[in-house]
Structure 1
């Protein structure tokens, strides 16, 4: 008999997150104390089986003692960094959660909220099927209120199947897909408990333009703004009742800005909406440059004035308008310049799609650090990423899942329409919402679909500042005011345009060689060429392409663009990963990252993200480095010093330049290896450096100094955590970077060592030899490792040592840090939590294949090569790779 459930109650009851930084919602809300509403994490101690399970794995008494114990988010398996071409598992997987509910939950309304289960799923509670769901990007919510048994063990069983299925979006088989499905319960799972009169969940209720809390805006300006409120309250108390719904708009410091309340009569077993509005004078408006978030508290009080439900939403008051040839207007004013951003797939090295909230936030932070202001998400994204966008000043272009696939069977369209509605319901209150993309990407669908998709957007968001976009040239684009992927010669005066993808430059859709696709390990010159390709490739002057420079020269009618792509990522139909990211799959920056960073505004602000003036020397001072020294900076002037007391070069920005904000700076013929060799031979290593100084108004505001790397001396470890400490919730993950450095601490880029990691204390290494990441080869000077927290806060010691050490080779490096207590309640068995991460199943991808299976695989590969031609055809038809 398992132990009774241990409820770990946080000291801080309220918002789940990290002190002073990231704030993550739980099942779509931020908890307030003393409201009767509580959120519990169900992430820990799920029993897991990859594959079909014998017998009745949904039954309460099913024997799962041989199953692996895992935490969610969980992605079925850990994969090598190079795992494209359908290397991931597709098929059925089972999860089982055992728990005994605490007596304090008796009489409560109880909902289990899965933020995401990939593919088609079935949810069983105590042996009974209670929910079927089709699609991997929207929540799956189950009412447990009458299903749980108190005083005994309960079991929630989930069957997750990520195999190909054309009846629901995405629909396209993974072998022809340009990203990877992965699988599993790959987002958070919550148990939400509240009283029997409560604010509903919009995704559960299925009310058009309703359910839950709906916040919209009107007449937004610096002088005032109207905040419209709509709340949906359900009565399951067994009797009719009257309640008061109270709204309080507050500053982040807790000062009340506006308050209002509404009376509401509720019949037993029924739900009703109430509406209210607030006129806010001199509002602090949300924008990418100043992402101000108000706290909106909603409370439900009974007839005696007692609070019986409530929670908090963070909202940003803003208006977004696309005014045809005038372009983007934000908060009642024309937006200056282009709003530039990137596309993002959600997978991470080793983990696949199963990112904890902290990695979602770090992704957003790294992209905002680079000066990017909009993210195209490709499907309905993790709520934590949307929370991060709100907080960091990133617009999010949210899409319904779909790519190059249409099924004529009616069920397919019906499920897309459902996805559109629920996409809007889950993200409609976010300040960062830029516009919806409800159509299927690069797809030949009927015109009636495009028209109906737009109608649904209007039905679900019938208020100002809601915009939907369609691919330029796709069926039904005449119904949309905002079009994507324009060809300039075909701009129409009654439309506004946004470039959804640019920057990729493949030679053909089979080999896919490109100067935009550069693995970090290929070194200095390829990465410099990638950066120049994205910026303004002068070396391609006879073949002009769409780039940062040319986009910035386009008319205001083209409001901005998202380049392809932010991170290296795995793919389905192609054997190679996509290497076009400005960071690799572990989020380690390439040279192009700093080029993008140099395009941000040089004025320091109070953004959480890195901002203000910067200068970066993109030169490694190796014998193989270019003679020209490249520098990226957003300053008015850059001064480069070569050697102490040596030659000084100066660059001044052209104030009349009409293209990208900051051109690439090249100091020609400034590096000669033999001069550096002479300094070293003369014992003047400390004088041999490059110093770049960025100046504004004649004053130095940013500096960057580089020395050539000497002999490898030791291994240095650092946390790549963006200031977010590892949380001891059993699921959180942080990246640790091991770097081979010389005595001065300069990274030895030209190094091919192999490093083995060991972890002690309250952490565990993810992937290991199963994913070919331990030992880990050094790539361009560094080797990353993913460390997951246990369920207990405490010290963690990570050691990195050479796989083959020697007396004259660097000694091992160590890093000690501590995980912090989680501020989130958990429902987990301590004994089972201790079993998390202990592998009990073999990696079935490594089993040997029969000769027949090998021949079938060969034939499938040939067939896939033929199908790739159709992928190429659609990408060409929808403008991918067009250089106008």
Structure 2
């Protein structure tokens, strides 16, 4: 890994530069295996869409010729970047897809796997009902074979309704909800073709602790790991089948570690299981700092050696233990420091929930770069691509069943929650990133009997070591949960507990006019206030400092929230993210990033949270992971230096004695000394008048008008940041924001391009308000138009975002950005050329979406 430092205007940005690669994603729950006998097709392209209801739309001869043609993931509509207050569409919608089946798979079993459809939905093939589903966050599968026309055109119809419905979770009306029910087929759709003998899908098989492929680490030391593997195989032949199963475990380097062959005889319509315990010597262990992934391949052949089916899953060999007051142990060792991160909702400006796989990955990478080693679901299971990224990048994840402040006494609601819990465990049980299961409904006063049942279901579905459930400490039935959620601002409550404690949401203050809810466009003072609120809260709310000061029993916390997100019940979005809804960073993002210690994979960094503007603060705020920082004002006319290295805990503090001491008094002595890398503030260091009316140097030339911060380790300068006083904007500069994951030519992927304005020296001009007009040519298209303020887009806080979506053809994309009304003295236009890369996906479509 190589780190680079570059300047956008006068903004020194430190970021990771990774080799450009397209990540591998799971498809319908598995990774693909070559020559497997299983064919997986991307089914996202070319759906006809009607936002509304239509009688008879399930019939194959229904006239849909005037419907829009779209590609999935699809959210029914594009939205503004301020899409709160329930302004999104809620109601029925219809999707119809015309498709044909190639002759080489027409004799196979065909299924369709929906990763998620928002709300409730029904599915028809050629006018015949083939399935229905309730709930918008979990996958489901329908069988196509029975009603398929193998030689001609087929019509698949999906009715989806994201209206309020109290009979399935979350259940709460959107107008009272702290997030939003964005609609549509908003995750991927896969068509799977297999022989009649195949590895099952865990949720479709519907077996407790069974179905599909189930892996679990049962023993682990530095010398060996025991991995239990169970594979469920179904025979849908009309006769008995003799099957040979080969299980191969590959190391992170791709070398064969272990192999097992078993033969089983399956009667017509019957299923059977293959089980094996692999022993891995000198295992490479999965951890946030070393996310090593093994690969388990399962191959089925008939008695003649012909391939029937093959799938792969990834395995992280790791051991998690919550040891009460001794806190979190990973791989038999105390977890170093606190496990810190953020919560994540899945919405995005303009597109709502419909984020493609690469976008999911980029979200994870953004958070990993911000020193987030744990993500909590808010408040439903995440997209499989986001989970794939967590496994590979080394991020723990707390997954949650859908729910938020709502309980329905109708028994069908409770039953559907239980179904969601089982589904949640089955889709994510193999992932090393899963550290906690949250099966209760978030912030809901549900019956204690329900909470106990929810906990028990998790352990029924995962009957191995390492399964831990978590819930709030004031929920009825919490006594059976292994981990409780607590608040670092109220240590007297959790100190009575023997269990480990995690703060599921820190940093947020209730209400809209609070120091943490800061729109990026509000500028320097607001962003500094937010960053300091998250670092060192002065409002008796938990912060980095407060959490890190707690004993080991308090294992960490997750910020509320990672990205600005939309809400149904508020007219204003939640502005408490460390980025905005486009994923453009705020100062607090860099404060988070500075909490990562310098190591082999983390470079020294300094960031100046100051814009050297006439209305900038006299205090200069700096974020750094260095031992010391030196601030030079106006080229060294004035120099300030601070030592920021400090003890991790207050001298003499013994966490084991907290329960017998006055918690508030102990907290007071530990409070300001525990954050890994405190915020540095140089008081009264910047005086704008002195900067603009500075004296001359000895050579008769003026001192430069700038701020320069150097980070030192061991007395040596290891990182530098510079901010210059900007003048009039001269040029628009475009920057691709792809986080090392290129735009993929699959008709669904999109990437953000940011337009900045810089002056003659290249300094970024933050306070520029022009409206920017974008033009795109080549193998890409702009998402959104003037109806949602996407194009043209007004600059805010020095930038204007553009979302560019790929076509199905890889190639060059030219982007031009200009001010809306160009003149002889206006800011000059900027241009950028990017290139999309080919996809390895195979497709099934007869038309291509244009929206």
> What TM-score do you get using the length of structure 1 for normalisation?
0.89
In structure 2, C-alpha distance between the alignment counterparts of 1:657 and 1:325, rounded to whole Å = 19
Deviations 1:504-532 (A, max 9, x none): 123xx4xx210000000000011000000
The residue number in structure 2 matching 1:677 is 692
Q: Does 1:551 align with 2:547?
A: yes
In structure 2, C-alpha distance between the alignment counterparts of 1:64 and 1:551, rounded to whole Å = 57
Cα drift, residue 157 of structure 1: 0.5
- SS class of match (2:296): strand
After alignment, is 346-355 or 234-243 more displaced? 234-243
The residue number in structure 2 matching 1:819 is 836
8 Å CA contact 2:696–2:703 kept in 1: the answer is: no
2:676 aligned residue (649, 653, 661): 661
The residue number in structure 2 matching 1:12 is none
Deviations 1:139-172 (A, max 9, x none): 1211112221122100110000000000000000
1:495 aligned residue (496, 499, 503): 499
Cα drift, residue 493 of structure 1: 3.8
Q: Does 1:43 align with 2:80?
A: no
Aligned pairs for 1:375-386 (under 5 A) are 375-377=375-377, 378-386=379-387
8 Å CA contact 1:261–1:276 kept in 2: the answer is: no
User: Unpaired runs of 5+ in structure 2?
Assistant: 1-17, 650-673
Q: Does 1:728 align with 2:745?
A: yes
The residue number in structure 2 matching 1:565 is 561
In structure 2, C-alpha distance between the alignment counterparts of 1:740 and 1:685, rounded to whole Å = 26
Cα drift, residue 393 of structure 1: 0.9
Deviations 1:360-384 (A, max 9, x none): 1111001000101110112011000
Aligned pairs for 1:627-706 (under 5 A) are 627-658=618-649, 659-678=674-693, 687-706=704-723
8 Å CA contact 2:694–2:703 kept in 1: the answer is: no
- SS class of match (2:156): strand
- In structure 2, relative to structure 1, the CA distance for the partners of 1:21 and 1:103 (3 Å cut) is closer
After alignment, is 388-397 or 644-653 more displaced? 644-653
In structure 2, C-alpha distance between the alignment counterparts of 1:21 and 1:614, rounded to whole Å = 28
The residue number in structure 2 matching 1:623 is 614
After alignment, is 525-534 or 694-703 more displaced? 694-703
In structure 2, C-alpha distance between the alignment counterparts of 1:684 and 1:426, rounded to whole Å = 67
Cα drift, residue 604 of structure 1: 2.5
The residue number in structure 1 matching 2:605 is 614
The residue number in structure 2 matching 1:860 is none
The residue number in structure 2 matching 1:793 is 810
In structure 2, C-alpha distance between the alignment counterparts of 1:558 and 1:147, rounded to whole Å = 55
In structure 1, C-alpha distance between the alignment counterparts of 2:262 and 2:102, rounded to whole Å = 34
- In structure 2, relative to structure 1, the CA distance for the partners of 1:660 and 1:18 (3 Å cut) is closer
In structure 2, C-alpha distance between the alignment counterparts of 1:748 and 1:39, rounded to whole Å = 49
- In structure 2, relative to structure 1, the CA distance for the partners of 1:135 and 1:243 (3 Å cut) is same
In structure 2, C-alpha distance between the alignment counterparts of 1:146 and 1:129, rounded to whole Å = 11
Q: Does 1:741 align with 2:791?
A: no
8 Å CA contact 2:607–2:624 kept in 1: the answer is: yes
After alignment, is 480-489 or 726-735 more displaced? 480-489
The residue number in structure 2 matching 1:849 is none
The residue number in structure 2 matching 1:91 is 91
Cα drift, residue 119 of structure 1: 0.1
- In structure 2, relative to structure 1, the CA distance for the partners of 1:800 and 1:681 (3 Å cut) is farther
The residue number in structure 1 matching 2:68 is 68
In structure 2, C-alpha distance between the alignment counterparts of 1:485 and 1:178, rounded to whole Å = 21
In structure 2, C-alpha distance between the alignment counterparts of 1:426 and 1:216, rounded to whole Å = 14
Cα drift, residue 485 of structure 1: 2.7
The residue number in structure 2 matching 1:784 is 801
- In structure 2, relative to structure 1, the CA distance for the partners of 1:558 and 1:645 (3 Å cut) is closer
8 Å CA contact 1:485–1:501 kept in 2: the answer is: no
Aligned pairs for 1:341-490 (under 5 A) are 341-377=341-377, 378-486=379-487, 487-490=490-493
- In structure 2, relative to structure 1, the CA distance for the partners of 1:811 and 1:20 (3 Å cut) is closer
In structure 2, C-alpha distance between the alignment counterparts of 1:376 and 1:60, rounded to whole Å = 43
Deviations 1:622-663 (A, max 9, x none): 111111111100111222222334333222224324211001
Aligned pairs for 1:531-542 (under 5 A) are 531-537=531-537, 540=538
Aligned Cα root-mean-square deviation (Å) = 1.7
In structure 2, C-alpha distance between the alignment counterparts of 1:220 and 1:214, rounded to whole Å = 17
Aligned pairs for 1:788-867 (under 5 A) are 788-829=805-846, 832-833=847-848, 836-837=850-851
- In structure 2, relative to structure 1, the CA distance for the partners of 1:704 and 1:633 (3 Å cut) is same
8 Å CA contact 2:524–2:610 kept in 1: the answer is: yes
8 Å CA contact 2:130–2:144 kept in 1: the answer is: no
Aligned pairs for 1:137-148 (under 5 A) are 137-148=137-148
The residue number in structure 2 matching 1:864 is none
- In structure 2, relative to structure 1, the CA distance for the partners of 1:298 and 1:82 (3 Å cut) is same
Aligned pairs for 1:17-416 (under 5 A) are 20=21, 22-53=23-54, 55-377=55-377, 378-416=379-417
2:734 aligned residue (717, 737, 740): 717
8 Å CA contact 1:197–1:308 kept in 2: the answer is: yes
In structure 2, C-alpha distance between the alignment counterparts of 1:770 and 1:43, rounded to whole Å = 26
After alignment, is 654-663 or 433-442 more displaced? 654-663
Give the length in aligned residue pairs. 804
After alignment, is 779-788 or 485-494 more displaced? 485-494
- In structure 2, relative to structure 1, the CA distance for the partners of 1:92 and 1:714 (3 Å cut) is same
In structure 2, C-alpha distance between the alignment counterparts of 1:21 and 1:339, rounded to whole Å = 29
Cα drift, residue 251 of structure 1: 2.2
8 Å CA contact 1:600–1:612 kept in 2: the answer is: no
- SS class of match (1:82): coil
1:767 aligned residue (769, 776, 784): 784
- In structure 2, relative to structure 1, the CA distance for the partners of 1:599 and 1:570 (3 Å cut) is same
In structure 2, C-alpha distance between the alignment counterparts of 1:702 and 1:283, rounded to whole Å = 36
The residue number in structure 1 matching 2:15 is none
In structure 1, C-alpha distance between the alignment counterparts of 2:497 and 2:410, rounded to whole Å = 37
After alignment, is 562-571 or 262-271 more displaced? 262-271
User: Unpaired runs of 5+ in structure 1?
Assistant: 1-16, 606-610, 838-884
- In structure 2, relative to structure 1, the CA distance for the partners of 1:681 and 1:157 (3 Å cut) is farther
Deviations 1:74-99 (A, max 9, x none): 00110111111100000000000101
In structure 1, C-alpha distance between the alignment counterparts of 2:702 and 2:162, rounded to whole Å = 57
Cα drift, residue 824 of structure 1: 0.5
In structure 2, C-alpha distance between the alignment counterparts of 1:115 and 1:770, rounded to whole Å = 30
> What TM-score do you get using the length of structure 2 for normalisation?
0.92
Cα drift, residue 19 of structure 1: 6.4
Cα drift, residue 811 of structure 1: 1.6
In structure 2, C-alpha distance between the alignment counterparts of 1:551 and 1:178, rounded to whole Å = 25
The residue number in structure 2 matching 1:602 is 598
